């Protein structure tokens, strides 16, 4: 479809291992399966999204780093119809780079400006801790989702991350829409999954997105083979959950999809 200004969706959690990368990669491929053009920007120096979509950790992340310093955003083609701005070790220098600039939090928004005219959606994968890069991602974003999985620390992280999102919205990016939390690793017969849902409902103003993403070993198989789930096991439960979530989000964000 012809692009308007891309919706920029950041996957954000102030904790490791909760599903940020899984959400970024699976939503990018599921939204693409709906007919939307997509770019994934991997801000995490661990470069897991990059490896998942390119099959390797070959990029140094230097081009993405330089784009935060006024250079051109790298936009590389993947084998899966979507594009990637790849990360790598050099991106571990991005925190001090942004801190050294008086308005470091706007660097990513500026770097993405051109790409926003070229894609329907831009997904941003973020590192697990709160720092300048995550703030810059929230400033560049139009929408944010907060992955959570059934454990207490992950729940604590949702509350903290929500507070961060709300303060960035209040002070730096009034247009930011907090879409809500994506529940991963959900198992309806497990007490802990039901308990998580009850506790999430108690968090004031937090939207719990549906469908939940069920526990599925297919995610680990797919990242082990470094092939997105949409291509590795398209009919797996986890992938079907993500396709339905992508459909729901595309409607929420008023994105036109080709039938």
Ligand X SMILES: Nc1ncnc2c1ncn2[C@@H]1O[C@H](COP(=O)(O)OP(=O)(O)OP(=O)(O)O)[C@@H](O)[C@H]1O
Q: Is 18 in the site for ligand X (CB under 6 A)?
A: yes
State the sign of the Cα–Cα–Cα–Cα dihedral 115, 120, 123, 124.
positive
End-to-end distance of the chain based on CA atoms, in angstroms? 11
Distance CA 78, CA 215 (A): 27
Site string for ligand X, 203-232 (x = CB under 6 A): ----------x-xx--xx--x---------
Site string for ligand X, 231-250 (x = CB under 6 A): -------x------------
For residue 178, how many other CB atoms are within 10 A of its CB?
21
Binding at 223: pick from Mg ion, ligand X, none (beta carbon under 5-8 Å per type): ligand X
Out of 11, 14, 18, 21, the only residue in the binding site for Mg ion (CB under 5 A) is 21
Binding at 142: pick from Mg ion, ligand X, none (beta carbon under 5-8 Å per type): none
Determine the interface stretch with ligand X among 12-20, 31-39, 82-90, 157-165 (rule: CB under 6 A). Answer: 12-20
Where are the extended beta strands (E) located within 151-220?
Answer: 177-183
Torsion, Cα of 24, 134, 175, 153 (10° steps):
70
Distance CA 146, CA 152 (A): 15
Cis peptide before 211, with omega less than 30 degrees from 0?
yes
The least distance separating Mg ion from the CB of residue 20, rounded to whole angstroms, comes to: 5
Cα-to-chain-centroid distance, residue 243: 15
Query: Any bridge partners for residue 183, and if so which?
Result: 148
Q: If you search the block for the tokens 């940020």, which residue do you land on?
A: 20
The least distance separating Mg ion from the CB of residue 134, rounded to whole angstroms, comes to: 12
Q: Is 29 in the site for ligand X (CB under 6 A)?
A: no
Out of 10, 12, 21, 158, the only residue in the binding site for ligand X (CB under 6 A) is 21
The least distance separating ligand X from the CB of residue 183, rounded to whole angstroms, comes to: 9
Residues found near Mg ion in the complex (CB under 5 A): 20-21, 48
Residues found near ligand X in the complex (CB under 6 A): 13, 16-22, 44, 46, 48, 128, 184-185, 213, 215-216, 219-220, 223, 238
């Amino acid at each position: 479809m012809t692009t308007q200004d891309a919706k920029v969706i950041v996957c954000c959690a102030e904790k490791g291992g909760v599903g940020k990368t899984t959400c970024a990669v699976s939503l990018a491929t599921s939204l693409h399966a709906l007919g939307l053009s997509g770019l994934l920007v991997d801000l995490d120096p661990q470069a897991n999204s990059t490896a998942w979509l390119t099959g390797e950790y070959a990029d140094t992340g230097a081009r993405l780093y330089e784009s935060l310093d006024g250079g051109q955003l790298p936009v590389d083609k993947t084998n899966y119809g979507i594009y990637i701005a790849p990360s790598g070790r050099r991106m571990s220098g991005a925190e001090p780079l942004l801190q050294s600039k008086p308005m470091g939090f706007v660097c990513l928004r500026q770097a993405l400006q051109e790409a926003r005219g070229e894609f329907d959606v831009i997904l941003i994968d973020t590192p697990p801790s709160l720092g300048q890069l995550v703030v810059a991602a929230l400033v560049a974003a139009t929408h944010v989702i907060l992955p959570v999985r059934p454990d207490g620390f992950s729940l604590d992280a949702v509350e903290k991350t929500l507070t961060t999102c709300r303060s960035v919205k209040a002070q730096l990016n009034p247009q930011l829409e907090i879409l809500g939390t994506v529940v991963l690793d959900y198992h309806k017969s497990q007490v802990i999954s039901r308990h998580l849902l009850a506790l999430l409902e108690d968090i004031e103003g937090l939207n719990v997105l549906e469908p939940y993403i069920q526990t599925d070993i297919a995610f680990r198989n797919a990242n082990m083979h470094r092939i997105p789930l949409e291509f590795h096991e398209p009919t797996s439960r986890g992938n079907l959950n993500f396709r339905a979530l992508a459909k729901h989000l595309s409607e929420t964000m008023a994105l036109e999809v080709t039938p």
